[in-house]
Amino acid sequence: MRKNNYQTIEITMKKTVNELKKNRLPIFAIASVLAAGLLLTLSAKPAAASGPKMPRKWGPFELGADYKDLKHDLTLFKCRAPNAETQECKLIGYPQRDDFVVLKFYREKLAGLAEFRSSADWDKTVSNLKDQLGDPTLPEYQSDRAVAYIWEDSQTYISLTHLFKLGYIVYEIRDRTAEPLYRKSATASSQK
């Protein structure tokens, strides 16, 4: 259907340009019509950059989920509460012995989660995530210690990081509103 809209706009522009040429109007008028047609064509295109919606879930854990609702899924996790607003839960040895998962709760809601894998295939993991999410939304970060790809939308921040020296690949999902508040609150409680 979009192709038909573009063809209709193109035909209309050609007719208008031909009429202007017959009437011998100045070049400025022709250029104005072409510019207006270009603007119409560009505004008719859908926003391709929006891409797929960022996933907010990993296994049974979804960002924003209530801590009380996840109690059953947290039975193997070791949880600690640095203060009344934050709580951190870790599962060590999942899915492999040196792997682990960290869940961060802010005011009883899941604000962020990270999966640390010690023996994952970096290239395959990057390829799978790019297939799922498209190209990263921010430029690649690279240093002598790590490389990271980042995807984000208005609600969710996803990063995939390869920590060279430690040998870990970290897949992290964070709520863009709650996770920074978690970090601020956890930092404030550790400075007391």
Over the stretch 116-156, which tens digit does the pLDDT of each residue have?
999 899 999 999 999 999 999 999 999 999 999 999 999 99
Cα 116 to Cα 137: distance, rounded to the nearest angstrom: 22
Cα 103 to Cα 78: distance, rounded to the nearest angstrom: 10
Residue 18: its pLDDT value, please?
Answer: 52
Residue 119: its pLDDT value, please?
Answer: 86
- Would the pLDDT of 76 be above 90? yes
3-class secondary structure, 123:
helix
Cα 173 to Cα 160: distance, rounded to the nearest angstrom: 9
Distances in whole angstroms, Cα of residue 24 to Cα of each of 10, 14, 15: 21, 15, 14
- Do residues 137 and 154 make contact, with C-beta atoms less than 8 angstroms apart? no
Higher pLDDT among residues 112 and 94, named by residue: 112
Q: Which residue has the tokens 């391709």?
A: 48
Q: What is the per-residue pLDDT across 18-73, written as a single tens digit (0 to 9) for each?
A: 554 454 444 433 333 333 333 333 333 333 344 557 899 998 999 999 999 999 99
Quote the distance between the C-alpha of residue 9 and its chain's center: 35
- Do residues 181 and 70 make contact, with C-beta atoms less than 8 angstroms apart? no
Residue 191: its pLDDT value, please?
Answer: 80
Residue 52: its pLDDT value, please?
Answer: 56
pTM of this prediction?
A: 0.71
3-state DSSP: the chain helix, strand, coil percent, rounded to 5? Answer: 40, 30, 30
Residue 22: its pLDDT value, please?
Answer: 52
Higher pLDDT among residues 10 and 161, named by residue: 161
The CA-based angle 60-65-68, given to 5 degrees, is 95
